[in-house]
Amino acid sequence: MSPDLPGPAGRHLLPLLTDIGHLRQMTLADWDGTLRVARQARLLGVIAHRIDAEPALLAAVPGAVRGHLRSSINFAAHRRQMVDIELADLEAALPAGMTVVLLKGAAYIAQGLDFACGRMPNDVDLLVARRDLDAAERALAAAGWEADKTDAYEQRYYREWSHELPPMRVPGHALEVDLHHTIAPVTSRTRADDDLLEQGLQALAGSRFHVLAPADQVIHAVIHLFQDSEMSGRLRDLVDIDGLIRRHIHGEADWRALHERARRHRADGLLWFALHYCHRWLGTPLPDSGEHGRRPSPPARMLMDLLMRHACLPLVSDAGEAPIRRLARGVGQLRYHWLRMPPALLARHLCHKGLSRLLPRGE
C-alpha cells in the first residue's frame, strides 16, 4: 500500500477497497470527499455492497452516508435486473448452436461473482468467433437491435480495425450490446491468441452462454485497462482485476499458469503493471515467489505511474482540473491511440477525425 497517493481516493477509497473495515477510522468529513470520488469512479455500489454485508460495519457508518449507500445498492439492483432482462432477450435472439461468450460485467454477474455485487454495467459485452460474427449480427438485427452509429467511416473503422461492432441497442432498452470477435483491437500491439481463448471456454450452467477461462478473464481485464483504455477514471477496472485474481488465482500452479497464458497472449508486460498496482493499491495477494512477469523498462514504468496516479485515480476538485491531471489525461489519450493503431493508420484516423470536426455535420 503506498500511503502517498493524493486526495480522498488515496487516503480512504483505496484503503476501503483493500479492507472495508477501514471505515471504522473514518469521520463524517472523511466520507464527504470519499463519496464524491467513489461515485466518480463508479465504485460506490461496490463499496456499499461490501459494507451492507457486514451489519456491524454498516452500524458504524454515519446516518447521512448510509442513505447514499442504500441509494447505490438500489440503483445497482435495478442495473442488474436490466442486465438479466437483456441477457434473456439475447438468449432468445441468438442462433441456437452458436457459441456466445459473455465478457466483463455481464460475465461477472452471470457467474455470480461476489466482487461484482454493486457494479453498474452500462452495456452487455458478447464475444463470438469471427466466423460467426455476421450471423450473430444478422440475428440481432432481425430481433430489433439497431446500430447506434450510422456514419460510414465509423462503420468501416469498427468493422476493419476494431475488435467489436458498433454498439447496438433495442430502442427503449436501457443497455447497449457490444458484439466482439476478439478481445483486443485487430490492429493493436497486443493481440490475444484467439485459438487459446476458444480452447479455454467454459459453459455457464443453466445458460446458453459461455465465459472465458478464469486466467483469460484476468488477462482480458488487464488488456482492457492497460491497453484498450485511456486510463482516465478507470479505477473500477483495476478493482475488477483484483476481484478476479482473489477469486480465481490461488497457489503457485495457478500463478504459473496465469503467467504462461499471459505470455501466449503477448500480455505479460501489461500483466506486470496490473499486478504491481493491484498489490500496491488494493493489497491483492501475490505469489510467494514474488514473480510479477516481464518487468517493463524504467521509462515505461514512470509513464504508467503518471497515468495511474493522475488519470486513473479519481479526484474531485472544486478548483477544476489541475495541470498535471490534464497532462496525464492527454498522455493517456495519445498512448491509447498509439497502442491501438499502427502509425500509418493512426495518421489517417486522426486526419479523418480532424477534418470531420472542421466540416459541418451531415456531409
- Site residues (vs another protein, CB under 8 A): 27-29, 31-32, 36, 39-40, 62, 64-65, 67-68, 70-72, 74-75, 77-78, 81, 316-318
Q: How far is Cα 143 from Cα 92, in angstroms, rounded to an integer?
A: 9
**Distance set, CA 258 to CA 79, 174, 267, 356 (Å):** 31, 35, 11, 43
The CB-of-66 to another protein minimum distance in angstroms stands at 8
Q: Which is nearer to another protein, 37 or 133 (CB)?
A: 37
Q: Are 272 and 78 in contact (CB under 8 A)?
A: no
Q: Residue type at 314?
A: P
Q: How far is the CB of 75 from another protein (least distance, A)?
A: 5
**Helix (H) or strand (E) segment spanning residue 207:** none
Question: 3-state SS of the chain: helix, strand, coil percent to 5?
Answer: 60, 5, 35
- Strand, coil or helix: 211: strand
Least Å distance, CB 74 to another protein, is 5
Of 175 and 179, which has the nearer Cβ to another protein? 175
The type of residue at 147 is: A
Report d(CA 181, CA 222) in Å as an integer.
18
Determine the 3-state secondary structure of 68 from DSSP: helix
CB of 145 to another protein, least distance (A): 22
Looking at the Cβ atoms of 39 and 266, the one nearer to another protein is: 39
Q: How far is the CB of 34 from another protein (least distance, A)?
A: 11
Of 21 and 62, nearer to another protein (C-beta) is: 62
Smaller CB separation from another protein, 103 or 312: 312
